[in-house]
Amino acid sequence: MAPGVVSNVAAIREYEGVEVIRSVDGIGAPHMKIETYALLMKDLPSTVHAGFKLFFEEDAVPGPLMTPPEVLALVPQPEYILYE
């Protein structure tokens, strides 16, 4: 996810039964994903949950694929993690 994909995150409203997740969803080497995550999680509203996506095959090419402990060490810790 590029920083400009979702604009005005602060304007996102709460809806009953809906949880909003801002997820880093991009293929790349760990250092690139970590840098993007830090950028996108800056000033994250309290109503938006942190998410992180990894691709088993595609992320292994620039690799290595991040391990669960590496993902859980991100700040803020992702509340939603998807492996595809």
Q: How much is the pTM?
A: 0.83
**pLDDT tens for each residue of 6-54:** 777 778 888 999 999 999 888 999 999 999 999 999 988 888 999 999 9
Number of domains in the chain: 1
49 within domain boundaries: yes
Range of the domain at 75: 18-83
34 vs 76: CA distance, rounded Å: 11
Contact 33, 74 (CB under 8 A): no
> What is the pLDDT, as a whole number, of residue 53?
96
- Per-residue pLDDT at 2 exceeds 70: no
Residue 74 lies in a domain: yes
Q: How far is CA 50 from the centre of its chain?
A: 6
Residue 27, classed as helix, strand or coil, is: coil
Structure confidence at residue 80 (pLDDT): 97
HSE on the CB side for 34, CA within 13 Å?
A: 14
Q: Is residue 5 part of a domain?
A: no
